[in-house]
Amino acid sequence: MISFFKGYKKFGVFFSILCVVIIAIIYNILNVDKPLPIYQPAMVSEELVDSTIQHQLKYHTISDFKLINQNGEIVTQDTYKDKIYIADFFFTTCQTICPIMTDHMYQIQKEIINDDDVMLLSHSVTPKIDSVAQLKRYAKKKGVIDRKWNLVTGDKKQIYELARKSYLAVKTDGNGDQYDMIHTENFMLIDKKRQIRGFYDGTNPEDIERLLEDLAVLKNES
């Protein structure tokens, strides 16, 4: 009788160990970071997307561009080649949401300061006002580090088309000027393939935390 129970005891120990292993495997599977979505125009509010691409379901990427930064240097898509970056739209004379957005970009800059894979890119929606000299003054005031963060100006039509057809990030003004735009509070997370991987409220501290968490997920993916 004793030997009979000893046999069951061994089986019980084995079964318990097996259960622990199975539970650990399931736990690890469930806790693996899910890949971030790849945003397409059809997934975004129509008011932020140019009508010509509103129903596009795949293959969306950021278009080539050529703009000028706070130092008078030309910035193109090659400046961000093989980089993950966070983009937004702003203007230097904005007194509402822009200061909050810029402060949050500055916080992100501090987090990525030693990460060579990640950069920042802020586009002016009032390029006639935001000259190179104006952007330079703003950059100094806001603590912009040139190697990490470009504030860019340039041709208004190009910036408008980037905003509406690439980053899916601004609304039209509707005042009769076809290139007038109202920027939103959105920050966009762009991967190394120039795909949009996340949208975040640049005025919301909780969204900034979520962005940084998603950035870590994206870095593990790439």
Predicted confidence band at 13 (pLDDT cuts at 50, 70, 90)?
very low
Phi and psi at residue 181, in whole multiples of 5°? -150, 150
Give tens-digit pLDDT for 160-191: 999 999 999 999 976 667 788 899 999 999 99
pLDDT given for residue 165 in this prediction:
97
Separation between Cα atoms, residue 129 and residue 126, nearest integer Å: 6
pLDDT given for residue 138 in this prediction:
98
pLDDT given for residue 200 in this prediction:
98
Per CATH, which fold does 41-221 belong to? Glutaredoxin (3.40.30)
pLDDT given for residue 34 in this prediction:
87
pLDDT given for residue 179 in this prediction:
85
Separation between Cα atoms, residue 151 and residue 127, nearest integer Å: 11
Judge whether residue 14 has pLDDT over 80.
no
Least confident of 2-6, 65-69, 156-160: 2-6
- Across 105-126, average pLDDT: 98
**Domains of the chain by residue range:** 1-32, 41-221
Judge whether residue 24 has pLDDT over 50.
no
pLDDT given for residue 3 in this prediction:
54
**Does residue 195 contact residue 60 with C-beta atoms inside 8 Å?**
yes
Judge whether residue 20 has pLDDT over 90.
no
DSSP state, residue 29: H
Angstrom CA distances, 114 to 41, 84, 144, stand at 33, 14, 14
Q: Supply the pTM of this predicted model.
A: 0.84
Judge whether residue 26 has pLDDT over 90.
no
- Across 144-156, average pLDDT: 98
Predicted confidence band at 25 (pLDDT cuts at 50, 70, 90)?
very low
For the CA atoms of 167, 211, 83, 80, the dihedral, rounded to the nearest 10 degrees, stands at: 40
pLDDT given for residue 4 in this prediction:
47
Give tens-digit pLDDT for 193-213: 999 999 999 999 999 999 999
Judge whether residue 42 has pLDDT over 60.
yes
Separation between Cα atoms, residue 187 and residue 83, nearest integer Å: 16
Predicted confidence band at 31 (pLDDT cuts at 50, 70, 90)?
very low
Identity at 1, one-letter amino acid code: M
- Across 102-112, average pLDDT: 98
Least confident of 2-16, 80-94, 153-167: 2-16
